[in-house]
Structure 1
């Protein structure tokens, strides 16, 4: 049994070749305009990191990374395929001597073997991971919202570009993105699950930014789990849009202002993961070797899926899917790559 949604009377307006051309068009346009808007330069990034470095993203803490051993300097060293580059990018800012107000972005390709495949989830994850150096006084909700609006402007510009390029293209995004915290969502929908809250509010507004993810709500649980050692739980959030094809909310980006030394220690204590303080990344942060920064990831395949109004992420990304899902998609005209 798979978690597949089949939209009624679904038929993509683009065949395989036109889809590939449109994917390149979206990716080229979006990353160029994102880098201009946020003042970012493109850098190269690793596919795997040394486990002992602490550079891998622990996500919610329960996911197990794909790993393998290599022989280095006469010793066996365990390397991990990245989940994301959330921590690695902060180290890169220091290595590249990035000035305040400038930043980096890269193509992040990851394997998340614990994912459950469905219309929007894949074992293979591709993102634009970006990170920008900021001043200490920019560690604020006001600055976070400014950057979110900048990213949303690039989304709107990309949609307008597609509207001009393709006949009968239908715009989906609202003019503005709406901000809401997880605490406000809890007040608005006290009897709904965390997922239902996102869905209800995203459907009403069209595009939302849900902030303050990771800290416990009044119910005693967080809206969703978030690693304690990169985002400041009071200054982070997700960009979520309403996907009319699937009649569901779709997360396009997770981002936030990163922890400083004080916040890192507090969140590690709250999550009972102070053992991470032994890692290279965490020691560098505590010892002031990393700049203050803001950053996040923007899903490349999800962005293409959304803008091309596809029913399955496999229509814009080549990956592996359960045989039952492949067969059912084929029956209903969903062409997986």
Structure 2
């Protein structure tokens, strides 16, 4: 457990006002996101069959919460880590056309998460996915979608300022782009998290690109599953977060793998056996649309806009008693 206590922290809003603000942000943001990216809201599963290959492996070390069902025999069922793969299947199943997309409320349990101000065992995010042409699998497409998401977040800042001027967090006016290798070149003596903090503190908001592969020092900037994002066309949106004096990741997103990138990344990670799974076989056989997509943290966005010190102030989860006590002593009001 790790907990940062901001000096002279003031939550500003009462718990009840905070709850109203959370609802307002969530309702408004998803409508704006859907409008700007041409996305329709759909329902999505909380759990999937392990054998489908649809669950997200995240960094490869987290274990999914699993169980069996009375009517499903010996089939292992897993609570999703994210819907990165499921969404691409849904685009085909539901007949989405070129440049149409979907978004959904994704809820997950990540039981191995190390708990701190930003990390909870409960994950809530908007997962979105959009059909693109094969020719659009490039950096220009990625950057255009990043800019659009940043624009929607900035618009939300103004909306929240109108309703809660005493509580709003003022955000930078521009997002900057940098690759994970460029970060290593700029800050060779820092580790990946320290590099993110340094560049985000300097620029305010950055999109760190090309995450998953090994850098010139032989290390990865961060782990990424090999079977959804193309490691050459992905990244994270990070804001400098003054209350905690660190970078705050709001979104992980990217152009999704095509058949070539999927095979290459599975080979790098020594898991080519996944090519036999239904989802992976469908990509290799060119049966699924080419897409771009990502996840945007709902609680993280509420934290960012309302300047909260702990993610537990904007979502209901479970925390160690020691953390609960420390938060209460410092006016951090966990839900």
Match of 2:316 in 1: 318
Q: In 2, Cα distance between the equivalents of 1:271 and 1:136?
A: 25
Superposed CA deviations along residues 312-335 of structure 1, whole A, max 9, x for unmatched, are 000000000001000000001101
Q: Secondary structure at the match of 1:76?
A: coil
Superposed displacement of residue 166, structure 1:
2.0
Match of 1:91 in 2: 89
Q: What's the TM-score, normalizing by structure 2?
A: 0.99
Q: Is the 8 Å Cα contact of residues 71 and 77 (structure 1) preserved in structure 2? A: no
Superposed CA deviations along residues 162-213 of structure 1, whole A, max 9, x for unmatched, are 1122233454211110000001001100010100000000001111000000
Match of 2:118 in 1: 120
Q: Is the 8 Å Cα contact of residues 169 and 307 (structure 2) preserved in structure 1? A: no
Q: In 1, Cα distance between the equivalents of 2:134 and 2:127?
A: 22
Match of 1:62 in 2: 61
Are 1:135 and 2:133 matched, yes or no? yes
Match of 2:201 in 1: 203
Are 1:27 and 2:26 matched, yes or no? yes
Q: Secondary structure at the match of 1:72?
A: helix
Superposed displacement of residue 129, structure 1:
0.1
2:272 aligned residue (271, 274, 280): 274
Are 1:264 and 2:253 matched, yes or no? no
Superposed CA deviations along residues 260-292 of structure 1, whole A, max 9, x for unmatched, are 011100000011111211211111111111100
Q: In 1, Cα distance between the equivalents of 2:50 and 2:186?
A: 41
Give 5+ residue unaligned stretches, structure 1. Answer: none
Match of 1:238 in 2: 236
Segments of 4+ moved more than 6 angstroms: none
Superposed CA deviations along residues 90-135 of structure 1, whole A, max 9, x for unmatched, are 0000001111111000000000001011000000000000000000
Q: Secondary structure at the match of 2:64?
A: coil
Q: What's the TM-score, normalizing by structure 1?
A: 0.98
Query: Over the residues paired in the alignment, what is the CA RMSD in angstroms?
Result: 0.9
Q: In 2, Cα distance between the equivalents of 1:4 and 1:23?
A: 23
Superposed displacement of residue 221, structure 1:
1.0
Q: In 2, Cα distance between the equivalents of 1:96 and 1:202?
A: 39
Match of 1:252 in 2: 250
Q: Secondary structure at the match of 1:318?
A: coil
Aligned length: 335
Q: Is the 8 Å Cα contact of residues 57 and 85 (structure 1) preserved in structure 2? A: yes
Give 5+ residue unaligned stretches, structure 2. Answer: none
Match of 2:145 in 1: 147
Q: In 1, Cα distance between the equivalents of 2:168 and 2:223?
A: 35
Q: In 2, Cα distance between the equivalents of 1:171 and 1:327?
A: 26
